[in-house]
Amino acid sequence: MAKTLGMKLKPKPISGSIVAPKGFKAAGVFCDIKRLGTGSGSEKGTKRDLALVVSEHPAAVAGLFTTNQVCAAPVKVCVARVQTGYAQAIVVNSGNANACTGKQGLKDALEMVQFTERALRLPPGSALVGSTGRIGLVLPMPNVRAGIMEAAAKLGSTTEHATQAAEAILTSDTRRKEIAVELKLDGRTVRIGGMCKGAGMIQPRMSPTGARPAASALHATMLCFITTDAAIGHRALQAALTGAVCASFNRITVDGDMSTNDTVLVLANGAAGNAPLRAGGHARSRRSRDTEMFQAGLDHVCLELAKMIVRDGEGVSRLVTIRLKGASSFADADAAARAVANSALVKTSWHGGDPNWGRIIDALGYSSARVVEGKVDLGYSAPGSRDVLWSLKQGQPSRATFKQLCAAVAAKEFDLHVNLNLRKGSALMYAADLTEEYVTFNKGDVTDPTSLGG
Amino acid sequence: MAKTLGMKLKPKPISGSIVAPKGFKAAGVFCDIKRLGTGSGSEKGTKRDLALVVSEHPAAVAGLFTTNQVCAAPVKVCVARVQTGYAQAIVVNSGNANACTGKQGLKDALEMVQFTERALRLPPGSALVGSTGRIGLVLPMPNVRAGIMEAAAKLGSTTEHATQAAEAILTSDTRRKEIAVELKLDGRTVRIGGMCKGAGMIQPRMSPTGARPAASALHATMLCFITTDAAIGHRALQAALTGAVCASFNRITVDGDMSTNDTVLVLANGAAGNAPLRAGGHARSRRSRDTEMFQAGLDHVCLELAKMIVRDGEGVSRLVTIRLKGASSFADADAAARAVANSALVKTSWHGGDPNWGRIIDALGYSSARVVEGKVDLGYSAPGSRDVLWSLKQGQPSRATFKQLCAAVAAKEFDLHVNLNLRKGSALMYAADLTEEYVTFNKGDVTDPTSLGG
Q: How far apart are CA A438 and CA A416, in angstroms?
A: 22
- If one compares B286 and A21, the residue with the highest pLDDT of the two is A21
pLDDT digits (tens, 9 = 90+) for B39-55: 443 345 679 999 999 99
Q: How far is CA B88 from the centre of its chain?
A: 21
CA-based nearest residue in chain A for residue B261:
A362
Q: Do domains A2-311 and A319-434 have the same CATH topology?
A: no
**For residue B259, which residues of chain A lie inside 8 Å, CB to CB?**
362
- Predicted pLDDT of residue B2: 41
Q: Are B302 and B106 in contact (CB under 8 A)?
A: no
Task: Please provide the DSSP assignment of A277-328 as one string.
Answer: B-TTPPTTSHHHHHHHHHHHHHHHHHHHHHHHHHHTSTT---EEEEEEEEES
The CB-side HSE value for B76 (13 A sphere, CA atoms) comes to 18
Strand A24-29, strand A12-13: pairing: unpaired
Is A43's pLDDT higher than 50? no
Phi-psi category of A137—alpha, beta or left, where left has phi over 0 and alpha has psi -120 to 50? beta
- pTM of the predicted model as reported, rounded to 2 decimal places: 0.90
- Predicted pLDDT of residue A202: 82
Is A39's pLDDT higher than 70? no
Query: Where does the pLDDT of residue B148 fall: very low under 50, low under 70, confident under 90, or very high at 90 and above?
Result: very high
pLDDT digits (tens, 9 = 90+) for B225-244: 999 999 999 999 999 999 99
CA-based nearest residue in chain A for residue B410:
A446
- Predicted pLDDT of residue A10: 79
Query: Where does the pLDDT of residue A45 fall: very low under 50, low under 70, confident under 90, or very high at 90 and above?
Result: low
- If one compares A445 and A254, the residue with the highest pLDDT of the two is A254
- Predicted pLDDT of residue B8: 55
**For residue B406, which residues of chain A lie inside 8 Å, CB to CB?**
446
- Dihedral sign, Cα of residue A286, residue A292, residue A296, residue A298: positive
What DSSP element (H or E) covers B116? helix B102-120
A157-180 mean pLDDT: 96
Is B88's pLDDT higher than 50? yes
Among the partner-chain residues A135, A219, A374, the one whose CB lies closest to the CB of B358 is A135
Q: How far apart are CA A6 and CA A14, in angstroms?
A: 20
Query: Where does the pLDDT of residue B214 fall: very low under 50, low under 70, confident under 90, or very high at 90 and above?
Result: very low
Active site residue A209: no
Q: How far apart are CA B273 and CA B22, in angstroms?
A: 10
Q: Exposed, middle or buried by CB within 10 Å (0-12, 13-18, 19+), for A301?
A: buried
Which of B261, B440, B442 to probe by mutation at the A interface, max A CB count within 10 Å?
B442
Q: Does A366 touch chain B (CB under 8 A)?
A: yes
Q: Does A353 touch chain B (CB under 8 A)?
A: yes
- Predicted pLDDT of residue A206: 81
Is A125's pLDDT higher than 80? yes
- In A4-48, the DSSP E strands lie at 12-13, 24-29
Between positions 123 and 142 of B, the ones with CB within 8 A of A are: 134-136
Question: Within 10 Å of residue A454's Cβ, how many Cβ atoms?
Answer: 28
Catalytic residue among A101, A171, A221, A242: A221
Q: Does B179 touch chain A (CB under 8 A)?
A: no
Task: Domain ranges for chain B, please list them.
Answer: 2-311, 319-434
- Predicted pLDDT of residue A281: 53
Q: What is the mean pLDDT of chain B?
A: 90
- Predicted pLDDT of residue B217: 33
Is B367's pLDDT higher than 70? yes
Q: At residue A6, what is the residue type?
A: G
Second CATH level (architecture) for the domain A319-434: Roll (3.10)
Among the partner-chain residues B100, B366, B444, the one whose CB lies closest to the CB of A68 is B366
Q: Which long-range contacts (CB under 8 A, 24 or more apart) does A116-122 make?
A: A116/A52, A116/A89, A116/A91, A116/A148, A116/A152, A117/A89, A119/A148, A119/A149, A119/A152, A120/A52, A120/A54, A120/A88, A120/A89, A120/A152, A122/A88, A122/A89
Of B315, B10, B27, whose CA–CA distance to B172 is shortest? B315
Least confident among A210-224, A320-334, A426-440, B318-332: A210-224
Q: How much of chain B, in percent, has pLDDT values that exceed 90?
A: 81
Q: How far apart are CA B201 and CA A302, in angstroms?
A: 35
Is B358 within 8 Å of A446 when comparing Cβ atoms? no
> Cβ neighbours of residue B373 under 8 Å, at least 6 residues apart?
A69, A70, A71, A100, B361, B365, B395
Is A428's pLDDT higher than 90? yes
Tell me what percent of chain A is helix, strand and coil, each rounded to the nearest 5: 35, 25, 40
CA-based angle B339:B345:B347, to the nearest 5? 75
Q: How far apart are CA A108 and CA A76, in angstroms?
A: 12
pLDDT digits (tens, 9 = 90+) for B248-286: 999 999 999 989 999 999 999 999 999 999 876 555 566
Catalytic residue among B132, B221, B291, B435: B221
B147-171 mean pLDDT: 97
CA-based nearest residue in chain B for residue A441:
B348
Helical ranges in B312-356 per DSSP H: 330-341, 344-352
- Predicted pLDDT of residue A216: 33
Is A257 within 8 Å of B363 when comparing Cβ atoms? yes
What DSSP element (H or E) covers B240? helix B234-246
Is A135 within 8 Å of B359 when comparing Cβ atoms? yes
Q: Does A211 touch chain B (CB under 8 A)?
A: no
Which of A370, A402, A442 to probe by mutation at the B interface, max B CB count within 10 Å?
A442
B138-147 mean pLDDT: 97
Q: Does A215 touch chain B (CB under 8 A)?
A: no
- If one compares A5 and A117, the residue with the highest pLDDT of the two is A117
**For residue A218, which residues of chain B lie inside 8 Å, CB to CB?**
366
Q: How far apart are CA A241 and CA A271, in angstroms?
A: 19
Is A25's pLDDT higher than 80? yes
Residues across chain B: 454
Is A365 within 8 Å of B70 when comparing Cβ atoms? yes
Between positions 32 and 61 of A, the ones with CB within 8 A of B are: none
Of A447, A452, A450, A453, whose CA–CA distance to A44 is shortest? A450
pLDDT digits (tens, 9 = 90+) for B379-437: 999 999 999 999 999 998 899 999 999 999 999 999 999 999 999 999 999 999 999 99
Q: At residue A236, what is the residue type?
A: A
Is B445 within 8 Å of A352 when comparing Cβ atoms? yes
Alpha-carbon distances, residue A354 vs A245, A406, B34, B37 (angstroms) = 32, 6, 17, 17
Q: Is B132 helix (H, G, I), strand (E, B) or coil?
A: strand
Which of B38, B65, B66, B70 to probe by mutation at the A interface, max A CB count within 10 Å?
B70
Q: Does A443 touch chain B (CB under 8 A)?
A: yes
Q: Are A30 and A49 in contact (CB under 8 A)?
A: yes
Which of B439, B448, B450, B452 to probe by mutation at the A interface, max A CB count within 10 Å?
B439
Q: How far apart are CA A194 and CA A197, in angstroms?
A: 11
Query: Where does the pLDDT of residue A41 fall: very low under 50, low under 70, confident under 90, or very high at 90 and above?
Result: very low
> Cβ neighbours of residue B451 under 8 Å, at least 6 residues apart?
B444, B445
**For residue B361, which residues of chain A lie inside 8 Å, CB to CB?**
70, 100, 135-136, 260
A326-345 mean pLDDT: 96
Between positions 241 and 270 of B, the ones with CB within 8 A of A are: 255-260
Q: How far apart are CA A197 and CA A222, in angstroms?
A: 6
Is B450's pLDDT higher than 70? no
Q: How far apart are CA A260 and CA B362, in angstroms?
A: 6
Q: Are A25 and A162 in contact (CB under 8 A)?
A: no
Q: How much of chain B, in percent, has pLDDT values that exceed 70?
A: 90
Query: Where does the pLDDT of residue A337 fall: very low under 50, low under 70, confident under 90, or very high at 90 and above?
Result: very high
CA-based nearest residue in chain A for residue B96:
A358
CA-based angle A12:A13:A17, to the nearest 5? 135
Is B208's pLDDT higher than 60? yes
Is A359 within 8 Å of B135 when comparing Cβ atoms? yes
Q: Does B366 touch chain A (CB under 8 A)?
A: yes
Is A231's pLDDT higher than 90? yes
Among the partner-chain residues A362, A397, A443, the one whose CB lies closest to the CB of B68 is A362
Is B91's pLDDT higher than 50? yes
Could you tell me which residues are beta bridge partners of residue A93? A50, A131
Q: What is the mean pLDDT of chain A?
A: 90
Is A438 within 8 Å of B443 when comparing Cβ atoms? no
Is A288's pLDDT higher than 90? no
Q: How far is CA A151 from the centre of its chain?
A: 24
Is B356 within 8 Å of A216 when comparing Cβ atoms? no
Q: Is B18 helix (H, G, I), strand (E, B) or coil?
A: helix
- Predicted pLDDT of residue A152: 98
- Predicted pLDDT of residue B278: 85
Q: Are A441 and A172 in contact (CB under 8 A)?
A: yes
A171-200 mean pLDDT: 94
Among the partner-chain residues B69, B99, B357, the one whose CB lies closest to the CB of A136 is B357
Q: How much of chain A, in percent, has pLDDT values that exceed 90?
A: 81
- Predicted pLDDT of residue B314: 92
One of 3.60.130.10, 3.40.50.1370, 3.40.50.300, 3.60.70.12 is the CATH number of B2-311, namely: 3.60.70.12
Among the partner-chain residues B258, B406, B443, the one whose CB lies closest to the CB of A446 is B406
Q: How far apart are CA A332 and CA A330, in angstroms?
A: 5
- In A172-317, the DSSP E strands lie at 177-185, 188-197, 206-207, 223-228, 252-253, 263-268
- Predicted pLDDT of residue B285: 67
Under DSSP, the state recorded for B446 is: T
Q: How far apart are CA A92 and CA A108, in angstroms?
A: 13
Question: Hey, what's the torsion of the CAs at A243, A244, A250, A253, to 10 degrees?
Answer: 160
N-term to C-term CA, chain A = 32
Q: How far apart are CA B414 and CA B385, in angstroms?
A: 9
Q: Exposed, middle or buried by CB within 10 Å (0-12, 13-18, 19+), for A198?
A: buried
Could you tell me which residues are beta bridge partners of residue A224? A196, A264
- The complex's ipTM works out to 0.88
Residues across chain A: 454
Q: How far apart are CA B215 and CA B150, in angstroms?
A: 44
